[in-house]
Amino acid sequence: GSGKFSEQVSLAGKVAAVTGANSGIGLESAKELNLRGAKVFMLCRSEQRANDARKKLIEAGCEGSHLLFSECDLSKFASVRACAERMKEAESHLDILINNAGIMFYPQFELTEDGHEMTWQSNHLGPFLLTELLLPLLKKAKDGRIICVSSALHRKVSDPLDLSKVEDKSEYGRMAPYLRSKLANVMYARDLARRLQEEGATHVTANSLHPGVVATDLHNHLPINNSVMMFFSRLIMKSEKEGAQTSLYLAMSSEVKGVSGGFFDDCARVKEHRAARDDEACKKLYEYSKEAVGL
């Protein structure tokens, strides 16, 4: 892939939902989908931040009436459930779901109000619950697309995902929980693709991707907050626009219509971690996650 998505696609009449649409790659994804005619639900924690982002998008030429805020805090199952309910009341179908929001390098071990480790819930269990609850709407689309933003760093998990350790305080470090959650994103997309296929719902696809190392808010918790460091990192990192290209490619390119269960980087399918190619492990993660979120 060229790493640049340039195909002319109209999304008129399509409905999309993007988590974390108020900043970074999420904002860029919401903008592009809207500019091509889609109605975009901005699923964000803070209404204030979403509204500020909405103003920016309208200034950039977006259609304001097609940018809708819906509160969704992935670290709270109640918030995710309420958001999914509102979506079902508002829309008859959903064409595109981009699970984009995530946290990285969370500074300490902390449990959510649901009793799960913060990074694991924000990056995996929350998006898992949201996606499962929105499946009925996605199945009503002609060409439903589920996109899970992961990271090539998921390959750094040294062993298969050990579900008995994902929320173990003694296994906590700045990096480990993030890596495990990103591996889970790839495994979940793969298992979801398999289940959709088995149900005969092949008009709905699920894929995961690596956006590139982008200079975004994800790095807020980095210990080095030195402006010189940030200046150099911005030179080697992709811009947010570049970082959103693979998400947009998976959301609308005709090249990936019907393609499901893959992991993509720079608008091309690449190999995922061997642990994510183990269908049994992916199935296990699904069963575990379903129980964890109370489905």
Name the residues annotated as catalytic.
Answer: 178
Q: Are strands 144-149 and 96-99 parallel, antiparallel or unpaired?
A: parallel
Q: How far apart are CA 231 and CA 9, in angstroms?
A: 35
Give the span between the Cα atoms of 80 and 75, in whole angstroms.
8
**How far apart, in whole angstroms, are the C-alpha atoms of residue 207 and residue 187?**
10
What is the distance between the terminal CA atoms of the chain, rounded to a whole angstrom? 38
Residue 61: both structure tokens together:
């030429």
Is 284 in contact with 163 (CB distance < 8 Å)?
yes
97 pairs with which residues across the strands? 17, 146
Q: d(Cα 226, Cα 233) in Å, to the nearest integer? A: 11
162-166 contacts at long range (C-beta below 8 A, 24 or more positions apart): 163/284, 163/285, 163/288, 166/117, 166/120
| Distance between CA atoms of residues 201 and 112, nearest Å | 34
